[in-house]
Structure 1
Amino acid sequence: MRNVICLGDSLTYGFPFGPKASWVELAAKTTGLALVNRGINGETTGDMLSRFVKDVVQKNPSVVVILGGTNDAWSGVPVSETRQNMDAMTEYALTANIRPVIALPPPIYRQLSGRGLEIVVHRLENYRETFRNLVREQKLVMIDFYTPLMDADTGWGKEEYFYDDAHPSLAGYRKMGETATTFFKKQLHHQ
């Protein structure tokens, strides 16, 4: 296996702690895989698509993990547009013989302020559903960063896993790293 490029936004980058605390770095340490962090804070799936050829295809990895959608939700990007961006990135990867892995974005943590968080949560759930459909339709594989950080009792992110309403705490990034490690170890056995 060549390297794995992890394409995403601040949730891949490791905001606010930096790449050393990211799930990418943690999974690289525990799996020994060459995982490359290409997370850029604030990016939407449209931003990721615009740099996909340069940051992924031209680097010729074996695998690309695509984690996006959270900034789309905050920005009000329609589900159809986010899905088109994911479809296009998936198509670029498959055409270049790169295995695309779709990541489900983590939940939102409800802090004291409302700030229309319900709307963001609803959008994100719609994105997750369309990402699941994409995985089914294209027979792809998926990393679920949603379920491990979710509090089933409240329907929101678990408090200990969040730094603010959208970004994981150090414990949250560790949980994401464990989730990615489990995924990669399982996938490597199937190759």
Structure 2
Amino acid sequence: MFLENMSQSFLTKNSYYLAKNYQKLPKMIKKSLKTTKNSKKTKLNYYVFLCLFLIYTVCNSQSNSEKLNPTKIVLMGNSITEHWQTYSPLFFEENSFLVNKGVSGQTSVEMLSRFQEDVIKQSPKAVYILAGINDIAQNSGYISIDDISKNIIKMGLLAQKNNIKVVICSVLPVTEIIWNEKIKNANQKVIELNQKLISSSKKNNFIYLDFYSKMKDELSLLTYDGLHPNKRGYKKMSAIIKKSIEEIMNNFN
């Protein structure tokens, strides 16, 4: 009686869905439904098969979901990463496996302190680390370019130790640090840091993703303040990272 009531309720509420997905039934269940649906003697079997169909569709739905989202990739960063999702919501909707872990204003030291919680515990297949500009801006006081690089590489090594693919992103080009005008030659410092990141990435078998060279010639068009990307800037960044993600995903498959 319980099976009958449950099946009748399910059939009533989901008749359209059943009809639409009928072709997906395994051949054995489909054949049994054809031969039993009008038979009083095998009425119980009919309800059992309806229950099986319910289980089948749920499992099939979960399987398809896993195929659509086969992995998880974390974007670790500062305001540039955090605001990416605001300026390019469609990009994140289309790539729902991306986990945005950007926090505005943070330096490499602060990012390193939350790396375990925000990246390692997420168990992603890969992490993109975009950090350094707030260190150059001295948000937490002076820090050498060498130490900035070391903090970023420490994050990469921690991820690598946990079998997470590491992508070190170049620091974006900058015309000036608008919130700290005392910082001179900011872009030269960015270039110096990027050179260290390139060298360290090669040494540690990390992937290096170069945003800098692809954005430096159009900086005035791609940012709203000489540093932070505008909508056009994020569109360009999305195209760059999308190609990188596709290459990584192909290696996972």
Using structure 1 for the length normalisation, give the TM-score. 0.84
Q: 1:45 aligns with which of 108, 112, 118?
A: 108
Checking the alignment, whether the CA contact within 8 Å between 1:4 and 1:33 is kept in structure 2 is no
Q: Hey, what's the Cα distance between the residues in 2 that align with 1:110 and 1:80?
A: 21
Q: Hey, what's the Cα distance between the residues in 1 that align with 2:132 and 2:226?
A: 15
Q: Following TM superposition, by how much is the alpha carbon of 1:27 offset from its aligned partner in structure 2, in angstroms?
A: 4.4
Q: 2:224 aligns with which of 139, 144, 163?
A: 163
Q: 2:208 aligns with which of 121, 142, 159?
A: 142
Q: 1:5-16 to 2 correspondence within 5 Å?
A: 5-14=74-83
Which letter maps to 2:194? R
Q: Which residue of 2 aligns with 1:60?
A: 123
Matched, 1:74 2:137: yes
Q: Following TM superposition, by how much is the alpha carbon of 1:126 offset from its aligned partner in structure 2, in angstroms?
A: 1.1
Q: 1:75-114 to 2 correspondence within 5 Å?
A: 75=138, 76-109=142-175
Three-state SS of the structure 1 residue aligned to 2:137 is helix
Q: Following TM superposition, by how much is the alpha carbon of 1:109 offset from its aligned partner in structure 2, in angstroms?
A: 3.3
Using structure 2 for the length normalisation, give the TM-score. 0.65
Which segment drifts farther, 34-43 or 74-83? 74-83
Three-state SS of the structure 2 residue aligned to 1:167 is coil
Give the number of the structure whose alpha-carbon radius of gyration is greater.
2
Q: Following TM superposition, by how much is the alpha carbon of 1:117 offset from its aligned partner in structure 2, in angstroms?
A: 5.9
Q: Which residue of 1 aligns with 2:248?
A: 187
Identity %: 25
Q: Any runs of at least 4 consecutive aligned residues in structure 1 with deviations exceeding 6 A, and if so which?
A: none
Q: Hey, what's the Cα distance between the residues in 1 that align with 2:229 and 2:118?
A: 24
Q: Which runs of 5+ in 1 are unaligned?
A: 152-156
Which letter maps to 1:90? G
Q: Which string of whole-angstrom CA distances, capped at 9 and with x for unpartnered residues, describes residues 27-73 of structure 1?
A: 4445x350011000001111100100011111111111100011111
Q: Comparing both structures, which one devotes a greater share of its residues to strand? A: 1
Checking the alignment, whether the CA contact within 8 Å between 1:6 and 1:37 is kept in structure 2 is yes
Relative contact order, higher structure (CA 8 A, sep 6+): 1
| CA separation of 1:2 and 1:78: change in aligned 2, threshold 3 A | same
Checking the alignment, whether the CA contact within 8 Å between 2:177 and 2:227 is kept in structure 1 is no
Which letter maps to 1:119? N
Checking the alignment, whether the CA contact within 8 Å between 2:219 and 2:226 is kept in structure 1 is no
Checking the alignment, whether the CA contact within 8 Å between 2:177 and 2:183 is kept in structure 1 is no
Q: Hey, what's the Cα distance between the residues in 1 that align with 2:237 and 2:165?
A: 20
Aligned length: 179
Q: Following TM superposition, by how much is the alpha carbon of 1:87 offset from its aligned partner in structure 2, in angstroms?
A: 2.2
Three-state SS of the structure 1 residue aligned to 2:185 is helix
Checking the alignment, whether the CA contact within 8 Å between 1:26 and 1:174 is kept in structure 2 is no
